[in-house]
């Protein structure tokens, strides 16, 4: 038993996929070795038993305690029922002989077959010893499986130059052309092949700074250290990333002024995947570029150049930025100067776009929206703007009529920055540039911020719009998208949601709940339909309401509410989503009461009884109350019901539900002695009316029957 190291040396891998490729390669090799009995996988995958390595030109894995040959193991194979395998005299049938032959045995094995129960019948089992796989054989299959299952974004096909039947003609497919395979079990090379390559004990280091080439790895355990020493490569992705973070922080301290590099995990991962041994350098650009909105400069530096902009203590962009170089020359001035020359045209483009865009007001661009197609079934961006404007106006009138003027102005201008050069170059800046240009046009700040914020929340955990105008516009924009796409049948399927309808629904939910808006979901959705002037189907309202509640249910479960609690509250489909958290808290408090299980069970029983009958008037005639138990229940309901209703109407849902606990005794007694479906029709209807009234009183906050076990 020794430690194993396997490496595929390839041409530069796609940086955005490198981390996933490295982890997938390592986990697949480890799991497949486990399938062949060469490693113990019972304790689960962790860094102590399996380490992934991923650099721009290599995928590798280190696995602890790998057998050179898997242990033999006893195998019991079911053959067939005894009645099929043996005749009346107990002799083997032709079917049994044929089955044994398929397993490499003959008739001599029949006396040793085991008979054991198998369901209702008895079956024959053949017991044998499976010889454990050798490491070479097991690793060969593990490698083949791991390569086949890699999450490769796009496969390349290329021709092999040697080691194949037809050099120059034989081809293989992989994420990038592979040039080396290393496989060491301890210090011993494992004889395996992959992608037309035979395994050895050497690899290659840094293109320019390796001490030797090739780099010979003497032992599986010395792989990372040897590569770093002789090859100038930090092979471990996490270690290389941590080194970049350390150097970025040190460089920021060197610059001074409380500067910090911008925090961007995606950028950090991508840069980590681009360098083999990082070297962070401080660069600068002309301060005149700082007149351009910092979002533009930051985006062009990150997206186009993979640079780390530096922010001062107040979060403002400075004219300094950090470059993660893949080389460490004695004199870094040429590298620094080269990067400064490269970034200058990018920043000049951003400045040019900004200056050109400001020559036209946003208002002058509104008509241009009519030439921008939104969707072939839903018209242009101008049509969309018109719809959003109508929906936003209706919402503003419900919330506060004083918002209407600003809401209409914001809705009219919200999409106009799509026509600007800056957003044309950087679509990620839509809304943000609208705010800057609106302020240039002397629009009120609340209008400018609403233009930026109407896209929020853009992702899970994003902030909500910062003012009421932005909230109204964001609601209207998301409702228009949801109603429009649902109305023409563009629904999300599986993991595909090209119009981000799930995100839009969650955005509506968050704004209604977190801003405690006194708006009803059905009214909002139905109110958006007329603005489409017959372009959407009539059933869109019900479909969309169900979709929103599905998203809400998932969100609430993620927040820690149980499935029962969520189902109890949402079963009633409360139209004011702002009330949902209070109802959930009330249900949770109620469920902790000792009376809760019995009342929930009774509620479920009542629901089942009422489902089997036609609708019954909750009116109860006291004259027809005969049994003491039904008289007591009616009296308790008359006493407790008004108190519970008053608390409910006051919004104290917790107290309302708690007050119902006193009904447990009368309800239990009623079901013990009263026959609901009495033979006398008037008694039956009266008792059903009593249960209907009880059911209504108990289920105003939530459907308590959903809490029943």
Q: What is the pLDDT of residues 369-382, one digit of tens each?
A: 999 999 999 999 99
- For residue 437, is pLDDT > 80? yes
Question: Among 55-64, 268-277, 450-459, 529-538, which is the least confidently predicted range?
Answer: 529-538
Alpha-carbon separation of residue 484 from 19, 352, 537, 703 (angstroms): 38, 37, 9, 32
Q: Provide, rounded to the nearest whole percent, the portion of the chain with pLDDT above 90.
A: 78
In the DSSP assignment, the letter for residue 13 is P
pLDDT band at 253 (very low <50, low <70, confident <90, very high): very high
Give the bridge partners for 55, in sequence order. 58
The radius of gyration computed from the CA coordinates of the chain, to the nearest angstrom, equals: 36
**Does residue 148 register a pLDDT over 80?**
yes
| Mean pLDDT confidence for 237-255 | 96
Distances (CA, A) of 281 to 322, 329, 342: 6, 11, 15
Which pLDDT belongs to residue 417? 97
Tell me the H-state helices in 612-649: 628-649
Q: What is the pLDDT of residue 499?
A: 92
Coil, strand or helix: which one is 14? coil
> What is the rounded distance in angstroms from the CA atom of residue 79 to the CA atom of residue 105?
12
On whether the CB atoms of residues 210 and 231 are closer than 8 A, the answer is: yes
**pLDDT beyond 80 at 162:** no
Which of 81-85, 137-141, 172-176, 308-312 shows the lowest per-residue confidence on average (mean pLDDT)? 81-85
What angle is formed at CA 340 by the lines to CA 334 and CA 345, rounded to 5 degrees?
A: 135
Q: Do residues 268 and 245 touch, judged by C-beta distance below 8 A?
A: yes
pLDDT of residue 107: 85
Nearest Cα neighbor of 142 from 37, 11, 71, 17 is 37
The whole-angstrom separation of Cα 466 and Cα 443 is 16
Residue 169: predicted pLDDT:
76
User: Can you give the pLDDT at residue 167?
Assistant: 75
Closest CA to 126 of 94, 99, 95, 87: 99
Q: Distance (Å, rounded) from C-alpha 143 to C-alpha 139?
A: 6
DSSP state of 242: H
Q: What residues does 184 pair with on adjacent strands?
A: 5, 189
Number of DSSP helices (H) and strands (E) in the chain, helices first: 26, 20
Confidence class for position 618, pLDDT limits 50, 70, 90: confident
Buried residues in 54-70 as b, exposed as e (16+ CB within 10 A): bbbbbbbbbbbebbbeb
- Given a contact cutoff of 8 angstroms between Cβ atoms, the answer to whether 7 and 203 are in contact is yes
Look at residues 228, 230, 202, 197 and name the one whose alpha carbon lies nearest to residue 214.
202
Checking if the pLDDT of 317 tops 80, the result is yes
HSE-CB at 484 with a 13 A cutoff on CA atoms is: 25
Whether pLDDT at 152 is above 80 = yes
pLDDT, one tens digit per residue, over 281-314 is: 999 999 999 999 999 999 999 998 999 999 999 9
Grouping H, G, I as helix, E, B as strand and the rest as coil, residue 115 is strand
Q: What is the DSSP string of 17-60?
A: GHHHHHHHHHHHHHHHHHHTTSS--TT---TTTEEEEEETTEEE
pLDDT of residue 342: 95
- Arithmetic mean of pLDDT, 21-41: 93
pLDDT score at 619: 82
- Token pair for 289: 């570029």
Q: Distance between alpha carbon 41 and the CA centroid of its chain, in Å?
A: 28
- Residue 364: its pLDDT value, please? 97
Range 560-565 average pLDDT: 94
For 294, list phi and psi in degrees, rounded to 5: -65, -30
Mean pLDDT, to the nearest integer, of 170-198?
Answer: 93
Condensed to tens digits (0 to 9), the pLDDT of residues 519-559 reads 999 999 999 999 999 888 878 999 999 999 999 999 999 99
Tokens found for residue 52: 């992934």
pLDDT digits (tens, 9 = 90+) for 468-498: 999 999 999 999 999 999 999 999 988 889 9
- Comparing CA positions, the residue from 534, 531, 408, 552 lying closest to residue 481 is 531
pLDDT of residue 54: 97
Distance of CA 572 to the CA centre of its chain: 28
Q: Find out whether 437 and 418 touch, Cβ atoms under 8 Å.
A: no
380-389, pLDDT tens digit by residue? Answer: 999 999 999 9
Among left, alpha and beta (phi > 0; psi -120 to 50; other), residue 76 is beta
Single out the residue of 449, 429, 430 nearest to residue 439, CA to CA: 449
pLDDT of residue 410: 98
The stretch 96-117 carries a mean pLDDT of 87
**pLDDT score for 358:** 96
pLDDT of amino acid 378 = 95
């Amino acid at each position: 038993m020794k430690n194993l190291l396997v490496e595929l040396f390839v041409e530069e891998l796609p940086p955005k996929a490198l981390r996933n490729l490295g982890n997938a390669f390592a986990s697949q090799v480890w799991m497949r070795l486990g399938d062949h009995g060469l490693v113990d996988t019972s304790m689960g995958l962790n860094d102590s038993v399996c380490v992934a390595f991923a650099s721009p030109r290599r995928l590798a894995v280190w696995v602890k305690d790998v057998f050179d040959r898997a242990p033999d193991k006893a195998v019991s194979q079911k053959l067939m029922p005894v009645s099929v395998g043996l005749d009346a005299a107990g002799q083997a049938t032709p079917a049994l002989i044929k089955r044994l032959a398929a397993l490499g045995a003959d008739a001599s094995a029949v006396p040793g077959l085991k008979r054991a129960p198998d369901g209702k019948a008895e079956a024959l089992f053949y017991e044998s010893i499976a010889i454990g796989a050798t490491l070479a054989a097991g690793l060969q299959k593990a490698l083949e499986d791991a390569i086949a299952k890699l999450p490769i974004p796009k496969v390349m096909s290329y021709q092999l130059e040697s080691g194949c039947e037809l050099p120059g003609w034989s081809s293989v497919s992989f994420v990038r052309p592979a040039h080396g395979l290393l496989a060491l079990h301890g210090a011993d090379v494992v004889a395996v092949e992959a992608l037309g390559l035979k395994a050895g004990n050497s690899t290659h280091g840094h293109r320019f700074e390796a001490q030797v080439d090739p780099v010979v790895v003497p032992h599986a355990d010395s792989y990372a250290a040897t590569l770093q020493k002789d090859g100038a490569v930090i092979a471990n992705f996490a270690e290389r990333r941590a080194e970049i973070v350390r150097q970025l922080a040190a460089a920021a301290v060197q610059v001074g002024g409380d500067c910090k590099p911008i925090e961007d995990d995606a950028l950090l991962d991508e840069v980590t995947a681009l360098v083999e041994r990082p070297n962070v350098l401080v660069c600068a650009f002309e301060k005149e570029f700082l007149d351009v909105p910092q979002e533009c400069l930051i985006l062009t530096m990150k997206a186009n150049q993979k640079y780390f902009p530096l922010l001062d203590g107040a979060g403002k962009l400075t004219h300094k930025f950090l470059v993660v170089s893949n080389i460490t020359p004695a004199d870094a001035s040429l590298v620094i100067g080269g990067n400064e020359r490269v970034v200058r045209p990018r920043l000049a483009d951003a400045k040019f776009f900004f200056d050109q865009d400001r020559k036209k007001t946003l208002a002058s661009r509104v008509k241009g929206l009519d030439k921008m197609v939104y969707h072939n079934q839903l018209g242009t961006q101008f049509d969309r703007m018109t719809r959003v404007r109508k929906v936003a106006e209706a919402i503003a009138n419900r919330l506060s009529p004083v918002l209407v003027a600003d809401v209409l102005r914001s809705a009219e201008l919200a999409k106009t920055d799509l026509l600007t050069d800056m957003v044309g170059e950087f679509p990620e800046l839509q809304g943000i540039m609208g705010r800057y240009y609106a302020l240039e046009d002397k629009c009120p700040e609340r209008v400018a911020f609403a233009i930026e914020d109407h896209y929020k929340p853009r992702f899970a955990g994003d902030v909500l719009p910062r003012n009421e105008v932005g909230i109204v516009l964001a609601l209207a924009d998301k409702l228009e998208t949801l109603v429009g796409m649902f109305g023409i049948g563009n629904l999300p399927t599986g993991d595909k949601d090209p119009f981000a309808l799930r995100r839009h629904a969650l955005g509506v939910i968050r704004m209604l709940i977190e801003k405690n808006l006194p708006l009803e979901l059905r009214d909002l959705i139905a109110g958006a339909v007329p603005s489409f002037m017959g372009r959407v189907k009539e059933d869109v309202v019900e479909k969309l309401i169900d979709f929103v509640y599905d998203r809400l249910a998932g969100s609430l479960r993620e927040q820690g509410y149980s499935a029962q609690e969520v189902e109890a509250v949402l079963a009633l489909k409360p139209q004011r989503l702002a009330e949902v958290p209070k109802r959930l808290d009330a249900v949770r408090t109620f469920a902790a009461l000792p009376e809760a299980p019995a009342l929930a069970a009774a509620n479920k029983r009542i629901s089942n009884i009422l489902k089997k009958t036609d609708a019954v008037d909750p009116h109860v005639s006291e004259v027809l109350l005969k049994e003491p138990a039904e008289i007591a229940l009616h009296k308790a309901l008359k006493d407790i019901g008004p108190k519970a209703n008053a608390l409910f109407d006051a919004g104290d849902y917790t107290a309302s539900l708690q007050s119902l606990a006193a009904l447990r005794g009368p309800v239990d007694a009623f079901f013990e002695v009263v026959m609901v479906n009495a033979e006398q029709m008037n008694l039956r209807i009266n008792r059903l009316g009593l249960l209907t009234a009880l059911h209504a009183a108990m289920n105003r906050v939530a459907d308590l029957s959903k809490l029943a076990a």
